[in-house]
Amino acid sequence: MWFANQSEYKNLHEAAAGIGISFNTLRGYFSGKRPNDKNLKLLIDATGVELNLAHQAAKSSRPNLKTKIYATRLLDELQSDLARCLASFPAIQTTLSEGVPREKLSTPRKGQQIQNLMDALQKNLDAIINDPETLQLVRKTVSGSDAGYLSGLLGAIFDDRRLQTWRQMTTYKYGSK
């Protein structure tokens, strides 16, 4: 509120420099982070805005509905962006590792990466299976064929003969719906 009503600074970069704190720190405060005592004093001195610390602490420990909705949506978007990034890593790693001797690569971590992805998937599914509306949305969004493909592949990984049969018999390409 103060920043919108002031005319001394044109942008947050100027405000941060004028107040004496870093831009990223100030930006964090606008995102809801709480300043430490030193920076709080700098903010009070620079803005003239007096803050009741006890009230602020009590209020920040009980986020209102609007804040919760915003934070939940922000986390959903972040989770989606991170999932897309994770999905792009294998292709990038393949390209980067061309010509690199296999013993120089960190392939032992692949098992842990798959386990971490499965853990994340399970936690997401736990939140979905008991919510009929979300479950219906997932069913409309996720390809049943893709889910079956991955399920079959994961099952086949643990038996060499089954994996060989899966490779020979599978004509479906993931993502082709």
pLDDT digits (tens, 9 = 90+) for 109-131: 778 888 888 988 998 898 889 89
Task: Write the pLDDT tens digit of every residue in 147-164.
Answer: 999 999 999 999 999 999
Q: What is the dihedral of CA 8, 14, 15, 18, to 10 degrees?
A: -90
Centroid of chain to Cα 41: 33
Q: How far apart are CA 154 and CA 20, in angstroms?
A: 54
Give yes or no for a contact between 157 and 164, defined as CB atoms under 8 angstroms apart.
Answer: no
* This prediction's pTM: 0.54
Containing 109, the helix (H) or strand (E) segment is none
Confidence of residue 55 (pLDDT cuts 50, 70, 90): very low
Confidence of residue 107 (pLDDT cuts 50, 70, 90): low
Q: What is the DSSP letter of 174?
A: T
| Backbone φ, ψ for residue 169 (5° rounding) | -90, -20
Centroid of chain to Cα 80: 6
| Beta strand residue intervals within the chain, DSSP E | none
How many helices (H) and strands (E) the chain has is answered by: 10, 0
